[in-house]
Chains A and B, each alone.
Chain A
Amino acid sequence: MKLTLKIWRQADPQAKGETVTYPVNDISPDMSFLEMMDVLNEELVNKGEEPVAFDHDCREGICGMCSMYINGEAHGPDRGITTCQLHMRKFKDGDTIYIEPWRAKAFPVIKDLVVDRNSFDRIMEAGGFVSVNTSGNTQDANAIPIPKEDADEAFDAATCIGCGACVASCKNSSAMLFVSAKVSQLALLPQGKVEAKRRVLNMVEQMDKEGFGNCTNTGACEVECPKGISLSNIARMNREYLSASLTAKD
């Protein structure tokens, strides 16, 4: 396959950045999108040019690093996958492909396609944990009965890999899907219920501080999420936040 790539190049966080056009040849439809990027980078290195910086790690859809906004959609045109799971057979010979970083004030570009997602980590630090004493005699987790539906819902929420595609796809750069998945996975389980009120208040406060936008329930996040995290998590977080705001004592 022959393709024309239009890639965002930006030397450092302060640089202005621009879209640069690169033609690539000899792309096999069986390659993954990142392998296609590797081919391009090898050519660039051979020519003595700076390769395109992009995030990646596991290359099997579990780490969430491979953030790329491809032809107007997070992780490209396919559904339920990350960029590393996207294959070139989804494109046609001769296609032009735009490749951009996640765009959000809370995800500043570090270089080219690499963005800083530490804002997610700071939200997690604000409440995405349970405080359990681990001084030797922790209770066997299976000794606490949990309704099957709750366990399933918590597990579904816990499949969020923190990739940020929800933020990238949202017209408001809202992080509600991510934060609600993290709030839900803990709020649904007995261990997490103990700190549930503080957690949701603190995580939402941190989310707002980071400069993410507000949810307008367009649902783009749910469609683009590689893990199919459901909007029902956002409703749960709204409920949790509403009741915690009304009843929290401090």
Chain B
Amino acid sequence: MSFFTSSIGRKVVMSITGLFLISFLIVHLAVNLLTLVSKDLFNEASHFMGTNPFIQTMQYVLALGFILHISQGLILTMKNRQARPQKYAMNKPETNSGISSRSMLLTGVLVLLFIFIHLRDYLWEMKFGNLGGYETDYDLVVGLFDDPIYTAVYVLSFILLAFHLNHGFQSAFQSIGVNHPKYTSFLKTLSTVFCIFVGVGFSAISLYFFFN
């Protein structure tokens, strides 16, 4: 059991849950991109996600993944702050490390705030509400992006998520010991490509419906 309270054990949990959240993001983005293809297709996919027993079960696993990821993230960050009670008067972290890696808690917490807004406006409405007065899931998704502030919050959140993933994706491999002269540089490049893909992909949908 001491594994799960050890520094490395906690990081392994962060890594596995982080990678799991990434797999969820990929599915989520794929479904969302259907809004750009056709209204019926998206509604069909949305219906499938909302009724398929496997997906419905995975929702609870996903919630657990989030809870573990967030709680370990908070515990680790708290311990890390305690490890340096006295700060440097002069410190230049930018000379030896990247901004994404140094702002994981900040980007994580802001993404979490976004997730709350997002769950309230979509998941809640689709599951328990009346779709915010809209007729189909598609109309709800498209409708909310009429508001410039709403769209801006979304795009900003995706940029923050991209920063989180820029470090997170490749870091998750290192945390579970996957580091190899042949593959690590590839994983780092993939991490950057992936985070841009996710950021641009989600933002593009919001912006498309804002301008159309």
The chain A residues found within 8 Å of chain B, CB to CB, are 6, 8, 19, 69, 71-73, 77, 98, 100, 103-106, 169, 171-174, 176, 204-205, 207-208, 211-220, 223-224, 231-232, 234-242, 245
Q: Are the C-beta atoms of A204 and B93 separated by less than 8 Å? A: no
Total A-B residue contacts, Cβ distance less than 8 Å = 138
Complex: how many Å from CA A104 to CA B79?
12
Q: Of B95, B171, B181, which contacts A217 at CB under 8 A?
A: B171
Q: Which residues of B contact A214 (CB under 8 A)?
A: 7, 10-11, 76, 79-80
Q: Of A8, A72, A104, A238, which contacts B175 at CB under 8 A?
A: A238
Q: Which residues of A contact B8 (CB under 8 A)?
A: 204, 237-238, 241-242
Q: A216-B171, A217-B101, A217-B167 are in contact. Are A211 and B82 (CB under 8 A)?
A: yes
Complex: how many Å from CA A216 to CA B14?
10
Q: Which residues of A contact B7 (CB under 8 A)?
A: 174, 176, 204, 207-208, 212-215
Q: Are the C-beta atoms of A217 and B83 separated by less than 8 Å? A: no
Complex: how many Å from CA A48 to CA B167?
52
Q: Which residues of A contact B3 (CB under 8 A)?
A: 245
Q: Which residues of B contact A216 (CB under 8 A)?
A: 76, 80, 101, 104, 171
Q: Which residues of A contact B102 (CB under 8 A)?
A: 171, 218
Q: Could you list 6 further interchain pairs (A-B, Cβ under 8 angstroms) beyond the known A105-B85, A172-B80, A220-B96? A: A98-B88, A205-B6, A213-B84, A214-B10, A220-B97, A238-B176
Q: Which residues of B contact A236 (CB under 8 A)?
A: 177, 179
Q: Are the C-beta atoms of A235 and B91 separated by less than 8 Å? A: no
User: Is there a chain A Cβ closer than 8 Å to B90's Cβ?
Assistant: yes
Q: Are the C-beta atoms of A235 and B96 separated by less than 8 Å? A: no
Q: Are the C-beta atoms of B97 and A234 separated by less than 8 Å? A: no
Mark interface residues in B1-32 (1 if CB within 8 Å of A CB, else 0).
Answer: 01100111111100000000000000000000
Q: Which residues of A contact B86 (CB under 8 A)?
A: 103
Q: A72-B91, A218-B101 are in contact. Are A171 and B80 (CB under 8 A)?
A: yes
Q: Are the C-beta atoms of B9 and A245 separated by less than 8 Å? A: yes
A-B contact pairs, 24 of them (CB 8 A): A69-B88, A72-B90, A72-B91, A72-B95, A98-B89, A100-B88, A105-B82, A171-B97, A174-B80, A176-B7, A208-B6, A208-B7, A213-B82, A214-B7, A217-B170, A218-B97, A219-B96, A219-B97, A219-B101, A223-B97, A231-B174, A237-B177, A242-B177, A245-B9
Number of interface residues of B (CB under 8 A): 42
Q: Which residues of A contact B80 (CB under 8 A)?
A: 171-174, 213-214, 216
Q: Are the C-beta atoms of A235 and B178 separated by less than 8 Å? A: yes
Complex: how many Å from CA A97 to CA B11?
36
Nearest-Cβ distance from residue A188 to partner chain B, whole angstroms: 14
Complex: how many Å from CA A105 to CA B84?
5
Q: Which residues of B contact A231 (CB under 8 A)?
A: 174, 179
Q: Are the C-beta atoms of B104 and A171 separated by less than 8 Å? A: no
Nearest-Cβ distance from residue A171 to partner chain B, whole angstroms: 6
Nearest-Cβ distance from residue A245 to partner chain B, whole angstroms: 4
Chain A to chain B: the 10 pairs with minimum beta-carbon distance, closest first? A239-B177, A235-B179, A72-B92, A213-B83, A172-B80, A98-B90, A223-B96, A173-B83, A213-B80, A238-B177
Complex: how many Å from CA A214 to CA B98?
17
Q: Are the C-beta atoms of B83 and A105 separated by less than 8 Å? A: yes
Nearest-Cβ distance from residue B108 to partner chain A, whole angstroms: 11
